[in-house]
Amino acid sequence: MGLYIHSPMRLHGIVLNSLISGTTLSNQKQMYRLWILQIIRDGMKSDLDFQISQRCVVFKLLLSFYSSVLADDDTKKLILEVIESTVKIPTPAELLVTTYGLLSWLHQTIRQFSQDDTILISTTIDIISSFQTILLNSSELKDGKKVKKKSSMIQHLPHHILLLMLDLLPKLGSKLAVSDLRKYLHMMQAVISFENSRATCSLISTQKMFEIVQRSKAILGSVSDCEDLLAYGCKFAPATQGGSSECGLGSDNEQAVCHLRNLTVKWLQRMYNSQAAV
């Protein structure tokens, strides 16, 4: 008889609204909330999963709830992890930008971080990294062949990613893990390769570049090679240390130093090119 008393299970929906509404937060309610967020995070694997979440307005709820006073650090971390899982899927990643305003939301979220929020910063770095990879490599079918997408959003993506990275810069404190700094510097090195010299120099000023080196120094220790490059230029220095592929060798600390050096050299070259074009 119990089967007739209870309402049928919702197999094609996500019961989330009731767990993030209300003014009180019981331990049981918080436990269920975290459990459902974990299910959404681990279950976001395909376009269909995203479509189900859209029908249940999951992302509208989560993006709004993140800044609520009811959202504790565990909830915020899981919301960011849900976003990270989603931006690994090409179509949902683009929809989160064009429909949900994810880039603007990330800007606002990053500005609320403190240097002590290392877990949230780490997850945000992973979001931007996944986001960059999936969208810069996104393609579409044209005449039966895969070609690079040329939408305006894709074309302007490197610029937006660079702005997000610069928003994160003041939040990089000495408590940040070396592995997270490595990812950050790798992304910075990659994204300025897509930007033209004038755009790069307008966003990454000399003061910003010095700040990148000094904040890296606080985490990595000695970065004298990069400090010398900023002081004396890169005219007689090797262009790069084998590029990103060779930077993938060694410990996280060694890789981070390699990415920082390559970033410094690329930035100096962009500065020279920009000045020569004037």
pLDDT band at residue 276 using 50, 70 and 90 as cut-offs: low
Burial class (CB in 10 A: 0-12, 13-18, 19+), 111: exposed
Q: Which of 75, 168, 80, 171 is nearest to 117 (CA)?
A: 171
Query: Higher-confidence residue: 119 or 56?
Result: 119
Region 172-190: mean pLDDT is: 94
Calculate mean pLDDT across residues 40-58. 93
Domains of the chain and any CATH numbers: 10-21+28-138+146-171 (1.25.10), 181-278 (no CATH)
Query: Per-residue confidence at 1, pLDDT binned at 50, 70, 90?
Result: very low
CB atoms within 10 A of CB 277: 9
pTM of the model: 0.84
DSSP-derived secondary structure letter, 68: S
- The pLDDT tens digits of the residues spanning 63-114 come to 999 998 888 999 999 999 999 999 999 889 989 998 999 999 999 999 999 9
CA distance 256 to 219: 10
Residue 147's beta-bridge partner residues?
140
Pure H helices in the chain: 2-5, 17-20, 27-43, 47-55, 58-65, 73-86, 90-98, 102-111, 118-136, 152-168, 178-191, 197-203, 206-220, 224-232, 243-247, 252-277
Which tens digit of pLDDT belongs to each residue from 138-172?
A: 655 445 555 555 566 667 788 889 999 999 999 99
